[in-house]
Amino acid sequence: MQLQVLNSPFTQEQVELLNRLLPTLSETQKVWLSGYLAGSQLGTAPAQLTQLPTENAKISKEVTILYGSQTGNARGLAKKSAQTLEAKGYQVTVSAMSDFKANNLKKLQNLLIIASTHGEGEPPDNAISFHEFLNSKRAPKLDELHFSVLALGDSSYEFFCQTGKDFDARLEELGGTRLYPRFDCDVDFDEPAAEWLEGVLSSLGEASGSAQASAQAVAVNQAAESVYSRTNPFKAEVLENINLNGRGSNKETHHLELSLEDSGLTFEPGDALGVYPDNDSELVDLLIKELNLNPDEKVTVKQGDVRTLNDALVSYYEITVLTKPLLQKAAELTGNKELQDLLAPGKEEEVKAYLHGRDVLDLVRDYAPWNVTAQEFVSILRKIPSRLYSIASSLAANPDEVHLTIGTVRYEAHGRDRKGVCSTLVADRTNPGDILNVYVQQNENFKLPQNPETPIIMVGPGTGVAPFRSFMQEREETGAEGKAWMFFGDQHYVTDFLYQVEWQKWLQNGTLTKMDVAFSRDTDQKVYVQHRMLENSKELFQWLQEGAAVYICGDEKHMAHDVHQTIIDIIEKEGSLSREEAEAYLADMQQQKRYQRDVY
C-alpha cells in the first residue's frame, strides 16, 4: 500500500521512507509500532525506538512480574497482568520487589516491572532494597534479559514516574533489551496500562488484537475478583458523619461511617478506601463564568459518555490541581505568549512556583482570554482521581460497615480561600443518607503480624490514628494476646484527642498495653510523638529486641521522616551500635515486614 502525497502531513522524503518500510513489516511489528505511536501521543513512549527481539529469536514462555507498590495500584496491575499472560499460555511469577531474591535477576529472560513513585521521586517502601541493589556495584550484567517497565505516578508531582524511569534506564544500562517501550501513567492509568500490556504481548510473539481487547480481558479478570472496584465503585450510603474535634479546636476531623451492605466488598485492617469526590459547585460556577461558556452545553468526556459542561466539571474532571502537562496543553490550546514564555526551557523553578497552591480558575484568569469551546476546554483536563483514606474500622467488629477519619483541608493562597476537594465534600456537603462512590484498595504493605502474640508499636498522630483504630478493633475481636503500644499526638488534649474514650477502654480491658500522647500546643515547648519515643527509648528498644513490629501512619515529609530518624537514634543508643549498624538493623526489620509505613 502506497501513501498518497496529496494532503499528507509528510514531506516527499518521509513518504518515500515510509513506502519502503511499511511493506517489510510483520503483523507483530505493525501492532508494536501502532502502540508506540499511540504512546508517544499520550506522552508515555520514550524518546527513541529500541531494538525488538527478532521474530526468529526464541523467547521464553516464562515471565516474571516484579512490582513496587505503596498503596496497592501497582500490585493490582501486576496480578491482573499475570492473569492475562497466563490466559495466553505464559508461566508467570508475580512478586513484590521486597520478596524477590535479587541474585536471581541474572537468571531471568523476561521481566516486567510495574512500579509507582513515592514522595519526591522515591521508590515505594517495598521497592527500596531492590532499587538499591540494582543501582549498586553488585548488580549483574543482564545481556540475556528482555524487559519492559510500566511506571505509575501523578503528574502534579515534580518527579513524575521517576522510579519507573530509574528502573528502565538502569536495566538498559546493565545490558537488558526492551520488550516494549516504558509507559508513564498518570492517576487515570487503566487504559494506558492495558495498552502497555498489549504491546508486551505483541513483543513476546503473541499478538492478540487491539489494546481494547486487552482492556476487556483485564476488566473480566477484575470482575471475577469483585463486582465493585476502582473502575466500578460501590454507591455507599452515609450512616454517620461526626466532627471529632471539640469546640474551639483549630482542626476539623470527621468520623465517617458508610454502609457496605450487599456490596460483597471485604477488607483487612491496614487497607484503604478510595472515595470519588465531586468538585465544589461554587468553584465550577466561577470557572464556567470566567470562560464565558454555557453550563448546559454538551461535552463528550469519553466515548459514549456525553454530559453537560456543568456536570462534567462537577463530577468528572480535576479542576483544583495544576500540573505542568496541563500548562503545556493550555499554552498550545490558547496560543498565549505569556504562558509559553513561562514554559520556556530553564524556567523550571518559575513553573514549580506557579503550580503551587493554584487551580484551574487561577490559570484561566491569569492567562485570559481563552476563546475556546467547552469541548476544547475539557479536552486538556484530566479525570478527577479518587482520594485514598486509611480504613478506621475492623470488618469483624463492624460487619457491612467501613469507617474513615478525614481531616478537613482549608487554607488561603494567592488571595483566595482554598478547599480540599474530598475533605470539604465530607465536611460541608455530606449528610446521613447521602451516597458516596467508593472502592476498597488493598494494602499488603501495612498488615498486622500473622502471629497474634507479636508485640506491635503504633505511631499515628492526627488522622494517622485511623488504621490503628482498625488494628485495635480487630485485635479485641480476635482476642490477640500480643502487647500493643500506641503513640498519638495532636494540638490540644481537650479538643483534639481523637477517639479518646475508645483508647481508654482498650487500655482498661488489656487490648492496648501502653499509650503515650503528645499535645504540641499545650506546653511552652512543642512536644511531638518522637519526643515521647525518646523518653521511652530503653523500653522501646527492648520491645524491638523481643520482635515487635513497628507501624507509622501520617505525614511523610515531616512526622514520618522525624520518627524514622528517632527510631534509628534509639537503636544506635540503646543497642550500642554505630549509625550504620543501626540503619542496617532497621532495614532488616523492614525486610522482615516488622517496620511498615502508611504515609502520604
Per-residue pLDDT 10s for the chain (600 aa) are 545 444 455 666 666 667 666 666 655 556 556 655 655 444 444 444 544 444 434 557 899 999 999 888 999 999 999 999 999 999 999 999 999 988 889 899 999 999 999 877 889 888 999 999 999 988 999 999 999 999 999 988 888 999 999 999 999 999 999 999 999 999 889 889 999 999 999 998 743 333 344 444 444 344 345 589 998 999 999 999 999 999 999 999 999 999 999 999 999 999 999 999 999 999 999 999 999 999 999 999 998 999 999 999 999 999 999 999 999 999 999 999 999 999 999 999 999 999 999 999 999 999 999 999 999 999 999 999 999 999 999 999 999 999 999 999 999 999 999 999 999 999 999 999 999 999 999 999 999 999 999 999 999 999 999 999 999 999 999 999 999 999 999 999 999 999 999 999 999 999 999 999 999 999 888 999 999 999 999 999 999 999 999 999 998 888 999 999 999 999 999 999 999 999 999 999 999 999 999 998
Whole-number Å distance between alpha carbons of 327 and 356: 13
Peptide bond into 269 cis (omega under 30): no
H-run or E-run covering 577: none
Do 243 and 291 belong together in one domain? no
Whole-number Å distance between alpha carbons of 360 and 405: 28
| Residue 450, in any domain of the structure | no
Do 346 and 201 belong together in one domain? no
Do 464 and 374 belong together in one domain? no
Whole-number Å distance between alpha carbons of 297 and 552: 48
Torsion of CA 425, 430, 434, 436, to 10 degrees: 30
Do 162 and 198 belong together in one domain? yes
Q: Which string of b and e fits 215-238 if b means at least 16 CB within 10 Å?
A: bebbbebbeeeeebbbeebbebeb
Do 267 and 402 belong together in one domain? yes
| Residue 447, in any domain of the structure | no
DSSP 3-state of 529: helix
| Dihedral sign (CA 55, 59, 63, 66) | negative
Do 476 and 418 belong together in one domain? no
Do 369 and 413 belong together in one domain? no
**How many other C-beta atoms lie within 10 A of the C-beta of residue 546?**
11
Do 72 and 165 belong together in one domain? yes
Interhelix angle 348-355/324-334, rounded to 10 degrees, is 100
Do 216 and 316 belong together in one domain? no
Structural domain harbouring 412: 234-276+386-440
DSSP state of 560: I
Per-residue CA distances from 246 to 205, 279, 500 (Å): 63, 28, 12
Residues with Cβ < 8 Å from 353, sequence gap 6 or more?
A: none
- Of the candidates 387, 327, 384, 323, the one whose C-alpha atom is nearest the C-alpha of residue 356 is 323
Place of cell 464556567: 288
- Of the candidates 31, 28, 32, 8, the one whose C-alpha atom is nearest the C-alpha of residue 19 is 8
Residue 321 and residue 422 in contact, taking contact as beta carbons nearer than 8 Å: no
Whole-number Å distance between alpha carbons of 371 and 411: 31
Do 463 and 427 belong together in one domain? no
Do 53 and 184 belong together in one domain? yes
Torsion of CA 56, 57, 58, 62, to 10 degrees: -130
H-run or E-run covering 220: helix 211-225
Q: Which string of b and e fits 281-298 if b means at least 16 CB within 10 Å?
A: eebbeebbebbebebeee
Domain count, the chain: 4
**How many other C-beta atoms lie within 10 A of the C-beta of residue 174?**
18
Whole-number Å distance between alpha carbons of 67 and 85: 16
User: DSSP for 477-488?
Assistant: HHT--S-EEEEE
| Residue 419, in any domain of the structure | yes
Model pTM score:
0.81
Per-residue CA distances from 443 to 126, 533, 594, 598 (Å): 11, 26, 15, 9
Whole-number Å distance between alpha carbons of 560 and 85: 38
Count, in order, helices (H) and strands (E) of the chain: 22, 21
Residue 164, domain CATH: 3.40.50.360
